[in-house]
Structure 1
């Protein structure tokens, strides 16, 4: 794959229906959303409100989209959104959100209203894939004309509260498969040349270039540095092609790119990125890093509010 070739499509020509169908035929279920995610959400019903905010359907497959809320929702308090699994293959985002709910969330009762969506993209979770079944990246689809139902469903969920959120933390990973599979597939899908990139070794965050909040981003990085290592800048002073503006911090224009982290318009918003393929990190560390990132974000925002 590193040669820039991809087994589907013609170089230089964007995919049509036939190529997308060929790609879809290669995807198979590798783990269970019901067993690994829904069962843990169900166990939270004793402590939180659990709701189904939609049903995702691809062919015969149906996936309930689940959100977990503070049991007592107080309009006088600030609100926070935590999302995981926007890219279904990014495992620690899902399990880090669940770990936060199981271990930490109760400690914020009476301080902040919590809305947590542990797995935005269950089809991708089961197939360990970045895209949905239509070969669309949900994390470029958080806009009115977005092509991913996963994103549209979340937009509908938060729309009544848009403007009320103080915090939004969107939990992600950067993996070796980004270079071995997903970026070559993206280039092939769009009929563009594949340009190899460099996978950063460690945790980093992405802030909004229109509202960077560097002290907030740095507070997350500092807290996570006690759990796992922080990604250094490369020789150009960058991480994944973007300038490092503070240790472990880069910036993207959230709303312009249609990213999940821009869906609420929160004052304090961040995407997290862990590196589960590092020889210096375990899956448990990655999950904990995500949960710690959430608590650090909440603690900073509540102190600043």
Structure 2
């Protein structure tokens, strides 16, 4: 892969201001449709789930409704399982893996768990196949009090009444070649820093919580996903994306401190999935299926070990 050494927007070594952010935003073109590809699927699921609009993003000229789906047989005595996707809008299988789970697998948890699924947290970025929102903010570094990212703030408001009742939260992501070719160089330019090329891991991996690790939970997901697609190996330094591998296909981040989506609840079981859709060994269908398998394994483990 060829790594860019500079970014076309801004001055090297100088953090972007409003003018550079505006220039970047104007360079982003709609490349696919939220209504056609996501909302239409949610509409087909309405007969089986309670669907609510938990917020709306006003990015003129467009307005994006944000949807959450819940099981119809909600029972306050049952544990809550939270599934989020599309926090980074360009990570396609996060969105469609969540929808696939709802369509094909959610029924098996009827009477056993309450499901809360927000399949596309960042629809503006979904349409433009980008990581950021229109203000060049990463929603997955913005899950904190007084969040500057409307996507993150809306999800936190929706989750707030449930926060201390969630048993399991799985946040569905991808790591793509464009991380290295496009998004990391843009991040470095935005922040006025040099871009340091890295490696993209080939395969599926998980991000556990440094503060409250759950190795058996992570292992159960890895074992389930390995039946669908391959697991990312550690690099020559024993790392994945610069973090030490603590078990096969597992690294750890400080979820809450970094403002990551997976840290927004008090759930006992938390994880972030990462699929590699650009691998020659994986198809888009496999990536979606891997995400759905991860969700099922996560719920199954939580139900078997409620704590």
Q: TM-score range by the shorter chain?
A: over 0.9
Query: CA separation in 1, counterparts of 2:240 and 2:17?
Result: 33
Residue 26 of structure 1 corresponds to 27
Q: Find out whether 1:68 has 2:69 as its counterpart.
A: yes
Q: How does 1:1-305 map to 2 (within 5 A)?
A: 2-305=3-306
1:145 Cα offset (Å): 2.6
1:73 Cα offset (Å): 1.3
Number of residues of Structure 1 aligned to a counterpart in Structure 2: 305
Query: CA separation in 1, counterparts of 2:148 and 2:194?
Result: 23
Counterpart secondary structure, 1:255: coil
1:2 Cα offset (Å): 1.9
Query: CA separation in 1, counterparts of 2:35 and 2:4?
Result: 38
Maintained 8 Å contact 2:9/2:24? yes
Query: CA separation in 1, counterparts of 2:197 and 2:113?
Result: 42
Query: CA separation in 2, counterparts of 1:234 and 1:255?
Result: 26
Maintained 8 Å contact 2:54/2:68? yes
Query: CA separation in 1, counterparts of 2:271 and 2:183?
Result: 23
Counterpart secondary structure, 1:169: strand
Q: TM-score, normalised by structure 2?
A: 0.98
1:177 Cα offset (Å): 0.1
Query: CA separation in 1, counterparts of 2:4 and 2:135?
Result: 26
1:60 Cα offset (Å): 1.4
1:3 Cα offset (Å): 4.0
Counterpart secondary structure, 1:196: coil
Counterpart secondary structure, 1:162: helix
Query: CA separation in 1, counterparts of 2:68 and 2:40?
Result: 13
1:45 Cα offset (Å): 1.1
Give deviations 1:161-198, integer Å, cap 9, x for gaps: 11100000000000000000000000000001111110
Structure 1 unaligned blocks of 5 or more: none
Counterpart secondary structure, 1:163: helix
Query: CA separation in 2, counterparts of 1:255 and 1:112?
Result: 25
Moved over 6 A (4+): none
1:146 Cα offset (Å): 1.8
Query: CA separation in 1, counterparts of 2:78 and 2:4?
Result: 53
The 3 A distance-change label for structure 1 pair 100 and 3 is closer
1:4 Cα offset (Å): 2.0
Query: CA separation in 1, counterparts of 2:52 and 2:43?
Result: 10
1:224 Cα offset (Å): 0.2
Query: CA separation in 2, counterparts of 1:10 and 1:24?
Result: 17
Give deviations 1:133-169, integer Å, cap 9, x for gaps: 1100000000013211000000000001111000000
